[in-house]
Amino acid sequence: MRTGDSDRDTPTLTIVEGPNLLKVVGDDLGLSEEERTLRARLSQLRQEHRDLDAAIDALLATGSPDQLQLTRMKKRKLSLRDLISKIEDELLPDIIA
């Protein structure tokens, strides 16, 4: 590193382990701004989906859940799943077989 260079000029890589995957996350991996935005939105939607799943489980554990609330939560969960799938499709490159 030359004198005057800052640490932010060097990309930082972090290895993140998931349930069935291992991926490398970095500050500058050549992603477009749109792709970064989509990935951030995807992460947010996945977290909301997990939170909603936990809330549904907790509501069911009460023994006599409010059916209207349960139905609304399940519809929202399905809607989130659709949005997640749509964004995942946008992020996957078109491959001609």
Distance of CA 59 to the CA centre of its chain: 24
Q: Model-level pTM greater than 0.85?
A: no
Asked whether residue 66 is domain-assigned, the answer is yes
Task: Confirm whether 3 is domain-assigned.
Answer: no
pLDDT surpassing 80 at residue 55: yes
Give the pLDDT confidence of 10-45 residue by residue, as tens digits.
Answer: 444 455 555 555 454 555 466 788 999 999 999 999
Q: Is residue 40 part of a domain?
A: yes
Q: Are 68 and 26 in contact (CB under 8 A)?
A: no
On whether residue 22 sits in a domain, the answer given is: no
In a domain, 23, yes or no: no
Q: 63-93: per-residue pLDDT in tens?
A: 899 999 999 999 999 999 999 999 999 888 7
User: How high is the mean pLDDT of the chain?
Assistant: 80
Cβ-defined contacts of 28-37 (< 8 Å, 24+): 35/91
Contact 26, 14 (CB under 8 A): yes
Which of 88, 56, 86 lies closest to 71 in space, CA to CA?
56
Q: How many CA atoms lie within 13 A of 6 on its CB side?
A: 2
* Total domain count, the chain: 1
In a domain, 15, yes or no: no
Domain hosting 79: range is 35-91
